[in-house]
Structures are given as C-alpha cells and as structure tokens.
Amino acid sequence: MGYNIDNFRRIREEYKEKYKKAEADADVRRRELWSKISGLRALDRALSDTGPRLLNAVLGKSNESFEKVKRDVERLNYERNLLLATYGYPADYSDPRYECELCRDSGYVDGEMCECMKLRLRMAGYESAGIAKLMEHQTFDNFRLDYYKTNPRSYENMSYVLKTMKEYAAKFDPYSSQNLLLLGGTGLGKTHLSTALTRALVDRGFDVVYTGAIGMLADFERNRFGNSAGSESGYDIDRYYACDLLIIDDLGAEVSNQFTVSTIYNVLNSRISTGLPTVISTNLNQNELNSRYWDRITSRILGEFRPLVFLGSDVRKLKLTE
C-alpha cells in the first residue's frame, strides 16, 4: 500500500514538538511559581527525590520502607497543594497541558497509535490528496438518489453508478483495480462521487491524488520551465505518475493545445503501462472527446477505462429550489 510516508514522518515530528512544548511551558509556569512562593522550590525538589527513593525501596537498596516513602509523597503533595492554594493557584498549575490527555501528545497509547494521531494523519491525507475543502460536504453517505427520481431510467442508472463506485472504494487495490471514466453533464455528481472515493481511499491508507485537469496541467507547465518547487497544488509531478490512484476531474475544461494533449497522453500512458489505476471525469461526450484529443488518447481512454454514465437533471439547480 502506498501509504503516505511523508505525512507520517512530518506528523511524528509535530508530535515530538508538541510534547516538548507542553513540557517547556509547564517548566516556565513552575519557575514562575518558584519565584513567587518561597519554600516551593525545596518542596518540589523533595518531591522529585521521592522517585529514586521509591525505586530503591522497591529494590531493597535502602533502609526506608516503600510505605514510608509513599506516606512522604502524600504529605509533600498535600503541603504543596495547600501552599499553592494559599497563593491562589490551582494544584495543577505547573502540570504539562497536553492537547490529548490520552496519549500525552506522544501519539501512542500502550504501543497503539492514539485516535488523535490517526485523525491527524487522515486530515493530512485529505490535504495531500487535494480534497480537504470539498470532503466535508461530499461523501458516499450524503449522496442522495432521490434527486434522480424524476426519471426512472436515470434513477436506476445512478443507483448502479453509486453502487459501483462504493464497491470500487471497498475493494480498491492499486495493482488490480480498473480505470474509470465518469461521463455526464454538469451538476450530476461526478465531482461529488470522485471526492467521496478519494476520502474513502485515504481513510484506508492509500495515496490518492485528486486534481482538476487544469490544476494538473498547470503543475506540468511550471515543471516544464524548471520551477517545480512552486507547484500550485504542492505536488511534485512525480506523484501524478506514482500515486495509488490518480483522479483527474473535469477533463476537457483545460485549453487544448499540443502541450496539454501530449501531457495527458503521457500521464495516462505511463500509468496504464505501470498498471496503476486512474479515474477521469468529464463533461464531454464521446464525439467531443474524439474531436478534442488525438486518436491516440481517445483509443486509450475508450479502450482501457470502464465508462460510468451519469444521467439526470442538474442537481445544482434542484438544490436551489429545495
């Protein structure tokens, strides 16, 4: 699985920094208390000495009993709390304040990744897949079939499309999943289902790139002039070739010239020969596809992609009248 290892490394570093910061901030507050409350520093030192004392008692390396040291800890804590209260501070004033109390910002609980870190990784996955903004509103779960009910044929058809895309997400495997071609007019849910697919696969740990045809071509354009560092979407173009699933939305919205056509051809051709799947969505019908792209591309597209046709009335308009 092409799990996005860069995100993982970056987030692990983030957690280390978060932990360090919580400890450093606590230290600042502790010093503040020491400067204001006389006798507190000595108490804190006595308290931190109890750690080694407890250990020695357990190991039988000291004359003190474990019980005795424990009683000392309780007494010292009691005195400390009382002293802080006298000065109007809460007892936990100088404790580290972690963002997540469960893992104390380590990212792990008993050797298992903490939920907070899983969530962070997923969010980073959405961001690097390019759907962070879209994903909140476009999932499989909120894709409604009743919009297509005005026409029995489109309802039946869209039920099939939804079922097929869900199954595609559930069974996805970069080494065996097929290419999909989402065809259909404006506002029928192509982008919605592409985003939902991206999200479902990112959740399963796959490295997915969702991109508009225009954005992808802009990246290649920049790269052509030796300036990949400033890539609009933050990707270096290698990811278009290497990701587990590439989703190119709105093919046909880009200007058509020799550069754009040959770039699209190269990307598709390379992914087909390495066996990595691609999902394309387009507003163009078959004739328009033919006239717009070289035969080389259209024969590739038509030959290697499974078509899914979106039918119905523009959902954007239907939503306006709700």
Ligand X SMILES: Nc1ncnc2c1ncn2[C@@H]1O[C@H](COP(=O)(O)OP(=O)(O)OP(=O)(O)O)[C@@H](O)[C@H]1O
Least separation in angstroms between residue 103's CB and Zn ion is 3
Q: How far is the CB of 122 from Mg ion (least distance, A)?
A: 24
Q: Which among Zn ion, Mg ion, ligand X, none contacts residue 103 (Cβ within 5 to 8 A by kind)?
A: Zn ion
Q: Which of 187/215 has CB closer to ligand X? A: 187
Binding residue for Zn ion (CB under 5 A) from 69, 84, 116, 131?
116
Q: What is the DSSP string of 185-247?
A: -TTSSHHHHHHHHHHHHHHTT--EEEEEHHHHHHHHHHHHTT-GGG-TTS--THHHHHSSEEE
187 binds ligand X (CB under 6 A): yes
Residue in 4, 98, 131, 192 binding ligand X, rule: CB under 6 A: 192
**CA–CA distance, 84 with 184 (Å, rounded to integer):** 69
Given the DSSP bridges, would you call strands 245-251 and 208-212 parallel, antiparallel or unpaired?
Answer: parallel
> What tokens does 10 get?
């970056």
Question: Quick check: 198 binds ligand X (CB under 6 A)?
Answer: no
* Closest to 83 measured CA to CA, from 34, 46, 25, 28: 34
User: Given the structure tokens 């289902």, which residue do they identify?
Assistant: 193
Q: Which is nearer to ligand X, 138 or 179 (CB)?
A: 138
Interacting partner of 68 out of Mg ion, Zn ion, ligand X, none (Cβ under 5 to 8 A depending on kind):
none
Over its C-alpha atoms, the chain yields an Rg (Å, rounded) of: 29
State yes or no: residue 183 binds ligand X (CB under 6 A).
Answer: no
Q: Which of residues 246-285 bind ligand X (CB under 6 A)?
A: 250, 283
Residue in this structure with the two tokens 């009335």, named with its chain if needed: 313
Determine the interface stretch with ligand X among 4-12, 88-96, 142-150, 267-275 (rule: CB under 6 A).
142-150
User: 91, 102, 132, 253: which one contacts Zn ion (CB under 5 A)?
Assistant: 102
Phi, psi of 153 (to 5 degrees): -70, -40
Contacting Zn ion (CB under 5 A), which of 57, 69, 114, 131?
114
**Residue 306 β-bridge partners:** 180
Beta bridge partners of 305: 179
186 is a contact residue toward ligand X (CB under 6 A): yes
Q: Which does 102 bind (CB under 5 to 8 A by kind): ligand X, Mg ion, Zn ion, none?
A: Zn ion
Q: Is 53 in the site for ligand X (CB under 6 A)?
A: no
Query: Which parts of 175-234 interact with Mg ion (CB under 5 A)?
Result: 190-191
Q: How far is the CB of 141 from ligand X (least distance, A)?
A: 10
Q: E strand or H helix at 157, and its extent? A: helix 152-171
Q: What is the DSSP letter of 178?
A: P
Q: Smallest Cα–Cα separation from 19: which of 135, 138, 113, 101?
A: 101
Residues that bind Zn ion (CB under 5 A): 100, 102-103, 114, 116
Residues that bind ligand X (CB under 6 A): 137-138, 142-144, 147, 186-192, 250, 283, 315-316, 319
